[in-house]
Structure 1
């Protein structure tokens, strides 16, 4: 029996790698002779870099960049030398996880450090980059990244704009002549886990701004600032990408990736499954077990368990999802290839009580499922 274990991370509890190991422990407790294959995955957000490195054997590199507030930090990126491909995770430089609650400031946080990661990759000789979006602390539409790459954003007096999305409201001039010329031959794919446009009630500011510290008034101001960013960009580029699905990902970084880097926007889980050679892994599996912190109706927008289930459904493979919780609308996932889904809790408990027990609970559920799988009831 071959069981494929391909969870995403369980937020604030386990990395995807740790989750896969906990599942494997449970499976082998029930079936010591089972063949298990651990393939930790992600959907483009935090943890995607680790998943790609684990799947491909890429080298983990380190470089000092600016965090979202302009402070120096050591950020990792991946280098797959044989493919001349760099793996760049936005959250490594500009991630929300690097800021405490009091530091969250959607008006002024910047993606400058992401541009510095691109420069490190170009210096290494990258010909292709996989840009992993998600988990951002920013709402600057990727403007900071472009500044790091050599673009000049100027106000009405010809002065460079300060960091952050709010400053884009005063943008008058966008100069792209200083962009690093190596970008012209760099092929970029951007992994997104949402399909939101740049602006409006489903846009970057309205949907994701509040979790980055923006008040309702600040959300409105940021949306207006990004509108100005889109206007000026369209004037320079001759094409307007504000309504592109995924443009609102990572505080508008999806917009910048497509507009200025020529990136192809793809569902993050599809990109990472491709790198992990998931079709071959699924073909040899008898049972697939995946999971993440929460499964609900929103999971259909591109979360890891649904990406796995859709791919497995095409091959007729059963998929079990283990989730920290099952939220409203999770039953819709059953139409996407999920065979069954289970919450981890073994009794009434608060989130604070559940988090430190996640590995234990995940292992126990995996063991129970495996026992049912190998000992089916007969008529």
Structure 2
């Protein structure tokens, strides 16, 4: 016996494919759909053709080999192309490291996917839901399923495939570990982060030309990327620039709500570190109407008119303010270095 519910009131005839016909067997719950069951299994080419199976195995091995080559390439590039102070060498080094890392990780990912799709068992299976804590018998069955899966993957009988898998997985972590460990003798002097090139009477110059800036040249609403005078003459200009780069903004003095120090601005011109206090990204997006600085990495937002305090996002501290004034010729100069370390938190930082 069966019951048919016709929903033909929408203008469609029952059974025409456009209405909704639900046929229930005797004893079935009208609020549930019947279980359609598993569809018929369709064997893959690699299941019925030994040559196709072997070809798929060679493809997986080739992908793992790509990962191995990428990892080795990363290691070679790390030692053969050390970071240099010139932008060109830095670009080449980053490109080589990025390609090696990408190939290493991509090879493992593609190999795993292709292995699963072409060589492992693809029969669909269904398991009933049960209590979160399985019984001891179920746990033993789970272990057996894992063993069966390993046996089904035939990894024990595929020596070349197993060697490629182990080699790629063994080499890939080195692409992450090497940059973290660093070269032998690397400088861990964190006190360098507590100071920059800025000093009393050090002129503010335009990045990257190094041209000094007069206060009269900065109009209300304008933003200027600033570096300290003489940056290119230092032993490590890129390292110094990474700490000392500043964003200069001119506001209407009446819009300034607060400063981090008395007299640290000049006629509405304020200068703040360009390094985000979250993870060190360059803060460079200025909203003229709201006086907000936005970090493009994680959307931390700072209010320039109110001591660069955080108004949104994950950053926890305001951007450090650089005390500025003008010299006798009208050029903008620093009154001193920043009064606190710039950038994100690090060990040994007091606040």
| Shorter-chain TM-score tier | under 0.3
Structure ranking higher in helix proportion: 1
TM-score by length of 2: 0.21
Larger Rg: 1 or 2? 2
Structure ranking higher in strand proportion: 1
Ranked by relative contact order (alpha carbons within 8 Å, sequence separation 6 or more), the top structure is: 1
